[in-house]
Structure 1
Amino acid sequence: MKKIEQNDKLEVISIYDLEEFSIGHDADMEAITGCTVVLANKLDNLVAGSDVRGGAPGTRNLDIISPLNCMESCQAVVLSGGSLFGLGAASGVEKCMEENNIGLPFVNVTLPVVCQAILFDLAIGSKDIRPDAQMGYRACLNALKREKHNDGNVGAGVGATVGKISSPEQMMKSGLGTYCYKRGDLFVGAVVACNAIGDVVDPDTQEIIAGALGRDLKSFLDTEKFIGENITTEDFYMGNTTIGCVITNAQLTRPQAHKIAAWSHDGIARAVRPTHTMSDGDTMFCMSTNEVPVAMNLVGTLAVKAVENAIASAVRNAETLGGFKSRKEIFGK
């Protein structure tokens, strides 16, 4: 049995090195949109959960994995741009999984259970081209190839931006980030696409590292302060949302997987300010291969830290695209 010991050190590894899960991306760099697939490779004891905290979510198949319903888990999570139009990407993932016999044996077919959340990226690039079944299919195939990718402008993060409380000129490019902790046989990792209305802060210094720029385009407006001093009605920009998935091999029941998904939102709240607004659709998933007996408090704590560090990585590694400048271009780091 896999386990952790008291003297096992906590380390950071590449999430792409995990054998239990595969992550694939596909994107249209001209239209500036994309999708990401998190695919489980061990299905026997898999459990999954989800939690929605934002006020404007777009999701698919969350009900089927509820503790009140019949499925213990999904076998894949799709994170996608395209707003509600992008929900079609899951159909392509289902097709790819069926062709590769990934899913549940059911009567005379292999039945893939695919959950999805979307973000709004129609204000960057082309509003008429969105992640579709073909893009989802390619992303799933890419997951099966098990290639490593850099964080930033990849997959669901290609069209992501942050700091949307003021004019488009004051917004910044964001992206998709990953982060994974390992302690003994246990791992807890996160894949997150950050497309928030708010600012992103550094996990260590608590300083804003991306978000709404000031009028000089070289400093930060401080979105929370701006809202407190200027906003009187619900006139927030609606093109927002941070979505992600925590993956682990901790032994979890299905209700516990939902709890970890809910707990992981603390990572968004610590990294993005403000978060969970009525114009954000913040949604998190958790998938576990259910192998390592461990305290829930350890899993939840590491999930939160993985999420906040993944978000920081998303903005630190983003590149200028579609007229939206990145942290790298503005601040050189």
Structure 2
Amino acid sequence: MPRARRRRSRSPGAWPGARSRSAPRSRRAGSARARCRGSPVSASGSITDVPGIRVGHVTDHVGLTGCTVVLCDAPAVGGVTLRGWANAVHGLEFLDPRHIVPGVDGALLAGGSAYGLEAVWGVMRFLEGRGIGFRAGPTVVPHVAAAILFDLNVGDMRARPTREMGYAAAANATPAAPGEGSVGAGTGATVGKLHRIERAMRGGIGSASTRAEGAVVGALVAVNAVGDVRDPDTGALLAGARDAPDGRRLIDTARALRSGARLAGFAPENTTIGVIATDARLSKAETVKVAELGMTGFARALSPPHTAVDGDTLFTLSVGDVRADLTALGLAAAEAVARAIARAVLAATSLPGIPAARDL
């Protein structure tokens, strides 16, 4: 059955390359022999390798928080999956197959805990000013999904992403490869909090891409897990809980928990949040399945993932018409997600008392 389409109004101020919903999309035939794992689209593969995807960051270097916006040149069919018990999200109703709005205009990842959701309104104002959104009578209503992470224990706890920061991140969005590490939503992120922030290391934001049967699949992930980060290929620890506040030896959180260690207090201060994008043609239900399969990338790169004090959230945005096998897409998404998580910590920079992977 053909996917439902929605009309979009665009003003002359819309960004270069943006398409109306009626503009034709390119089609590429996929190969049934393509491997699910695929290969990087470019040497610095990122979510912006997906045609029609733009990313913008805003970073508060003083307050140590920030936000990241993923925008689509045309409305995206979206889905989401959640793991853990500490999620904080916005706009999930737009992703429900039963909702009258068939798509979304972008996604926001932000620090600031629940306060960071304020940045959504800045993104909406940016889109409204360019005539981008769902046509509703005499106006347009942009639809933006969002997820936040907890970074109030790192910088100034009164510093949170604001409407102005959300607007600026949207204005900064470009199709260039996005910055990684301690920028945007990853600015105040940390990992390895078995013994709380005193023995943690720097998290961050990372991106990667791959292919599946002719479709491009990219991921952008802000990593703020209670667990450690592992190399998805070798299993080696990259960043995580340390043996002492001034230590440089990683203790392996999952092994410690299996041996009887307990998390230092039940605090929902950990969240890994991300966006998968693809130029494959998907329904809302299919985007959810890609997100679910993409979550296996968390299991490859986070140790352990999805704990009771994590709020893991993963969106999928479908922005193209390429035909590809759903399972192959999901496995490619998992590959991109796992590599994005690793790249997030490898690109991070240290803070006083909180070292980065590059410092080990």
Normalised TM-score (structure 1): 0.93
Structure 2 residue 207 is matched with structure 1 residue 175: no
Which of 60, 64, 74 in structure 2 is aligned with 1:28?
60
Question: What does residue 205 of structure 1 align with?
Answer: 234
Larger CA deviation: 168-177 vs 86-95? 168-177
Question: What does residue 143 of structure 2 align with?
Answer: 113
Whole-Å separation in 2 of the counterparts to 1:35 and 1:233 = 28
Task: Report the Cα offset of residue 171 of structure 1.
Answer: 0.5
**Structure 2 runs not aligned, ≥5 long:** 1-26
Tell me the C-alpha RMSD between the 2 structures: 1.8
Q: Indicate how the Cα distance of structure 1 residues 67 and 322 shifts in structure 2: closer, same or farther if over 3 A, else same.
A: farther
Question: What does residue 55 of structure 1 align with?
Answer: 85
Question: What does residue 190 of structure 1 align with?
Answer: 219
Structure 2 residue 299 is matched with structure 1 residue 273: no
Whichever residue aligns with residue 187 of structure 1, its letter is V
1:165–1:237 CA contact under 8 A, matched in 2:
no
Whole-Å separation in 1 of the counterparts to 2:190 and 2:352 = 10
* 1:144-293 equivalences in 2 (<5 Å): 145-182=174-211, 185-215=214-244, 217-231=247-261, 235-293=265-323
Whichever residue aligns with residue 39 of structure 2, its letter is E
Question: What does residue 11 of structure 1 align with?
Answer: 39
Instruction: Number of aligned residue pairs: give it.
Output: 327
Whole-Å separation in 2 of the counterparts to 1:263 and 1:166 = 30
Task: Report the Cα offset of residue 139 of structure 1.
Answer: 0.3
Question: What does residue 309 of structure 1 align with?
Answer: 339
Whichever residue aligns with residue 28 of structure 1, its letter is D
Whole-Å separation in 1 of the counterparts to 2:190 and 2:262 = 24
**Structure 1 runs not aligned, ≥5 long:** none
Whole-Å separation in 1 of the counterparts to 2:335 and 2:90 = 26
1:47–1:290 CA contact under 8 A, matched in 2:
no
2:133–2:143 CA contact under 8 A, matched in 1:
yes
SS in 1 for 2:275: strand
Task: Report the Cα offset of residue 149 of structure 1.
Answer: 3.3
SS in 2 for 1:314: helix
Whole-Å separation in 1 of the counterparts to 2:179 and 2:189 = 15
Whole-Å separation in 2 of the counterparts to 1:100 and 1:250 = 26
Whichever residue aligns with residue 3 of structure 1, its letter is A
2:298–2:338 CA contact under 8 A, matched in 1:
yes
SS in 1 for 2:208: strand
Question: What does residue 104 of structure 2 align with?
Answer: 74
Q: Spell out structure 1 runs of 4+ moving beyond 6 A.
A: none
Whole-Å separation in 1 of the counterparts to 2:217 and 2:176 = 20
Whole-Å separation in 1 of the counterparts to 2:220 and 2:235 = 21
Whole-Å separation in 2 of the counterparts to 1:192 and 1:211 = 17
Deviations 1:125-179 (A, max 9, x none): 1000100111000000001x44443311111001100000114331001100000
SS in 2 for 1:97: helix
Task: Report the Cα offset of residue 185 of structure 1.
Answer: 4.3
More helix by share: 1
Q: Indicate how the Cα distance of structure 1 residues 278 and 8 shifts in structure 2: closer, same or farther if over 3 A, else same.
A: closer
